[in-house]
Structure 1
Amino acid sequence: MNLKKFIKVLCCFIIFNLLGSTILGAGMPDTVKIITEKGTLNKVQYDGYDIQAERIRIDGSNDIVYCLEINNKYPSGQSFSLNEKPTDKVSNVIAAGYPNRSIAELNLDNENDAYFATQVAIWVAHEGYDINKIKGDNSKIVEAIKSIYNEGINKKYDNKIQTQVYKTNDESIQEVIVISYDDLTAEEKAESEQMEYPPQEG
């Protein structure tokens, strides 16, 4: 390997490690404003009841946000404060879902389906539902929900991105889980650079 190529590979290696240790370890915000988008994404059935989900997000941020408590109300612009880490069970389910795994990896057609499947799997894990009782008209979504849940419970995937639980002062509003989108893009960028400049022998 000539000197220039060696330096390039060394620099990429250093950048990759810095991204992993610094950017991915960056702190989450202390407070966030959570809003709910209009419209229901999809629905499935559990034990004769409909489970529907809407999409929530942080105002002015690309971070992915999920609800945690299915029986509480959706946020409507409240301020949420950093609370704690999700339980190991929920964290493992998140690792098996979107965005830690891509839409294609989940065998789904679009981002809304991937978000919905992950949201339902999180509720199943948090509430202690029987995953085998999830039914629905869209077989791909039902299979994705079961896959995310089962592979999460079996700890099949490592979570590459930070997740934190946030809560608001209103006890009737669901607690939420914020997933750092910046961590995800940093991880993808680091992996892309590593693939572009792989270590070479000789």
Structure 2
Amino acid sequence: MVKIAPSILSADFSQLGKDIELIERFGADFVHIDVMDGMFVPNISLGIPVIKSIRKMTKLPFDVHLMIEKPDRYIEDFVDAGADIITVHYEADRHIDRTINYIKSFGKKAAIAINPGTPVCVIEELIGEIDMVLIMTVNPGFGGQKYINYCSNKIKNVKQLADKYNPNLLIEVDGGINDNIIKNVVDCGANVVVAGSAVFKNGDVEQNINRLREALI
């Protein structure tokens, strides 16, 4: 079963709690939360106080994607805020093995994200140690971008490594996903799909999630 993780970066921030309740009601599997520091990516987004405030709104797992420099400094804070899965970027952490083990020491799922220009081979030795790989299919920082086609090969490469080292690995894709793209990324090996604009556009969350599910049939 493919998991759908709506990115609340595309939600209506004036009614964020309501939008989170809607995605739970209409069949989302995770709440994807993008955290940006204005340094690792050219944007600033949700922080720890917001995550704490919305934790009580849903029982869905919080899939927290840290697009920040030196993420190890804040792992415990995000754990305390309610994160269930914590994703750190390979490109943002010099000691990523240590950070992965630090996340796991709190009983949380640990994930590594790689940018479009980062080859899959750099995380091969870590595939057996992590719970999820997040393949960025756009350059991180802003929603509403177009899917980068060569990332399909990267998804296939991660799937091959997962089959070899970690069959239970979650393979997540994030960026430009809509009902025209979702079948392709799942056929390539993805089993968790982040969708922002495709879920929240026009304010019709139910129809939009249904459309994504139907595209997989």
* TM tier, smaller: under 0.3
Larger radius of gyration: 1
Q: Please identify which structure carries the higher strand content.
A: 1
Q: When the two structures are superposed, what TM-score results if normalisation uses the length of structure 1?
A: 0.26
Please report the TM-score for the alignment, with normalisation by the length of structure 2. 0.25
When you count helix as a share of all residues, which structure comes out higher? 2
Q: Which has the higher contact order (CA 8 A, sep 6+)?
A: 1
